[in-house]
């Protein structure tokens, strides 16, 4: 009965590689998000999709590219990984139509770039 799930949980890779993180929600929500939590534990939004349409695109390097094949899935692809990309990446979802905007988070993907 997992609500928001992410794979993989851990990702260790070398600089310059390309990697993807996948997210799925079974809550029936219409909006999904990617957040980055850095080493100082600061949580910052990166992207948001509503019904497969990009609605939030923060100041993020264009090496990061989100893709939403349907409203239950949101993936994050990262090209040419850098040391500074090491962080925990959280996916979240919400149901915007009910105007509450309560966001529910997945378990996170800890990315370590060496």
The stretch near other proteins (CB under 8 A) out of 11-19, 37-45, 59-67, 68-76 is 37-45
83 belongs to the binding site for other proteins (CB under 8 A): no
Surface-to-core class of residue 102, CB atoms within 10 Å of its CB (0-12 exposed, 13-18 middle, 19+ buried): exposed
The stretch near other proteins (CB under 8 A) out of 16-24, 65-73, 74-82, 102-110 is 102-110
Residue 92, beta-bridge partner list: 33, 105
Selected from 11, 25, 48, 87, the binder of other proteins by CB under 8 A is 48
**Number of chain positions touching other proteins (CB under 8 A):** 24
CA triple 88-62-37, angle to 5 deg: 15
CB 42 within 8 A of CB 34: no
Report the C-alpha gap between 65 and 11 in whole angstroms: 17
The stretch near other proteins (CB under 8 A) out of 18-26, 36-44, 61-69, 74-82 is 36-44
Residues of this chain that bind other proteins (CB under 8 A) = 31, 33, 40-45, 48, 50, 55-56, 90, 94, 96, 100-108
């Amino acid at each position: 009965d997992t609500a928001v799930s992410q794979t993989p949980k851990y990702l260790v890779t070398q600089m310059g590689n390309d990697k993807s993180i996948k997210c799925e929600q079974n809550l029936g929500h219409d909006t999904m998000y990617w957040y980055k939590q850095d080493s100082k534990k600061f949580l910052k939004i990166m992207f948001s999709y509503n019904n497969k349409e990009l609605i939030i695109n923060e100041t993020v390097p264009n090496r990061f590219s989100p893709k939403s094949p349907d409203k239950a899935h949101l993936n994050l692809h990262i090209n040419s990984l850098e040391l500074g990309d090491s962080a925990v990446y959280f996916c979240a979802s919400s149901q915007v139509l009910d105007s509450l905007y309560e966001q529910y988070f997945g378990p996170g993907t800890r990315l370590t770039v060496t």
